[in-house]
Structure 1
Amino acid sequence: MKQWRFKEIVVMAALSVVFAVVYLAFLPLGKLLVGFFGPIGYDFIFGIWFIVSTIAAYIIRKPGAAFLSETIAAMVEMLIGNATGPMLIITGMVQGIGAEAAFAITRWRSYNIWVLMSAGVGSALTSFVYGYFVSGYAVLETGYVMAMLATRMISGALIAGLIGKAISDNLAKTGVLDSFALGKVYRRKNAA
């Protein structure tokens, strides 16, 4: 395994801080959706809370990028005002483990769209299992709980996977990622 370079750590941390702000900004929308649709409302947009893990892993392409970025984002989100408090760090770790598992299955060698979408689904699964016990989903009807899970998995695949890839690819086009794994792949593709 290659060692992490200082600039990779800095970019991962910067992405985590940026997305901590994004995560906090999406809470009112989540609450609004819950007001209209009930508990499933958050699941429509839940993929937004997994996106830093797929972006960081896709750009840096090293073991731990997904887990660490999601954990750091949760810490920062807590520090800047999420009322959940320290439990949010555990939530971030749980989400990061789900994303990291998708990259680990490929031994951190594949970063195609299917793996990125799988990372979003992985975060959805681990966060849902955790949420099932912490948030009391057990009191809901089984069919409703299954609909929540399916919605969260779709959200994870589409938002964290597809949108995360699009954001990263657009960053790579600017040249700002030229010294990172994604930037090198992008340059090779366009040189051919």
Structure 2
Amino acid sequence: MQTISKSKSTRWALRDVLLLAFVAVFIGFIFWVLGPIYNLLSAALTPLGLAPFANELLIGGWMMAAPLASILIRQAGAGVLGELFASAVEMLLGGQWGVATLLSGFVQGIGSEAGFAVLGYKNWGWRGIFASAITGTIVTFIWSAFRDGYSSYHIGLLIALFITRFLSLLFFGGVLVVAIQKLIEKAGVLHRD
């Protein structure tokens, strides 16, 4: 006899909502801290003609909420909501980009969550995180082409910026997110069936 196992419910449990709130506040604070770091890095790189790299080096930090919410909650939409709510926390803390932070958070959340969606919301390990970094890089780079004027840069600079962005997303949204996930699991907050 073949056993058919039920897939995880698509309903959000109270634990999911609390995890989402935790991610939003914790990562939203990190987003807010990154603002002044970005300003210093941009100021340091501007005389060298490398100011766009300030954003590329740090963007992974601004995109940690989506993969963290996704791998902790394991529900469609968790990444977008995590990123959007974390950007709202950054804005409410007085982040320098104001309400525009919400639009960026939404675009970043869609880009990051797309990687998990492409895999059918079935791979929450490194494969899903890698896919999230790829789709997050592509979606946000296209966004930057319009918003930040990247479309006017020469191809060599665009390639360097793209690679830097991908590595930033892989480090912050991969290595650091997995480390945070392990700490949360070690604390006994998550009880996987």
Please, what TM-score do these two structures have when normalized by structure 1? 0.87
2:119 to 70, 88, 106: 106
For residue 2 of structure 1, report the CA deviation from its aligned partner: 2.1
The structure that has the greater radius of gyration is 2
Q: Give me the whole-angstrom Cα distance separating, in 2, the residues matched to 1:163 and 1:18.
A: 13
- The 4+ residue runs of structure 1 with deviation greater than 4 A are none
Q: Give me the whole-angstrom Cα distance separating, in 2, the residues matched to 1:52 and 1:25.
A: 14
| Higher helix proportion (structure 1 or 2) | 1
8 Å CA contact 2:133–2:169 kept in 1: the answer is yes
Q: Structure 2 matches for 1:45-56, cutoff 5 A?
A: 45-56=58-69
8 Å CA contact 1:116–1:162 kept in 2: the answer is no
8 Å CA contact 1:117–1:156 kept in 2: the answer is no
Q: Give the structure 1 partner of residue 173 of structure 2.
A: 160
For residue 124 of structure 1, report the CA deviation from its aligned partner: 2.3
For residue 122 of structure 1, report the CA deviation from its aligned partner: 2.0
Aligned length: 180
Please, what TM-score do these two structures have when normalized by structure 2? 0.87
2:59 aligned counterpart, secondary structure: helix
Structure 1 residue identity aligned to 2:107: V
For residue 90 of structure 1, report the CA deviation from its aligned partner: 1.1
Structure 1 residue identity aligned to 2:125: N
Q: Structure 2 matches for 1:14-163, cutoff 5 A?
A: 14-37=22-45, 38-163=51-176
For residue 96 of structure 1, report the CA deviation from its aligned partner: 0.5
Q: Give me the whole-angstrom Cα distance separating, in 1, the residues matched to 2:138 and 2:44.
A: 24
Segments of 5+ residues of structure 1 without an aligned counterpart are 179-183, 186-192
Q: Give the structure 1 partner of residue 4 of structure 2.
A: none
String of CA shifts for 1:54-109, please: whole Å, max 9, x gaps.
Answer: 11111111111111100111122112211222221111111011111111112111
8 Å CA contact 2:57–2:164 kept in 1: the answer is yes
Q: Give the structure 1 partner of residue 15 of structure 2.
A: 7
Deviates more, 1:30-39 or 1:149-158: 30-39
Structure 1 residue identity aligned to 2:158: V
8 Å CA contact 2:115–2:136 kept in 1: the answer is no
8 Å CA contact 1:121–1:154 kept in 2: the answer is no
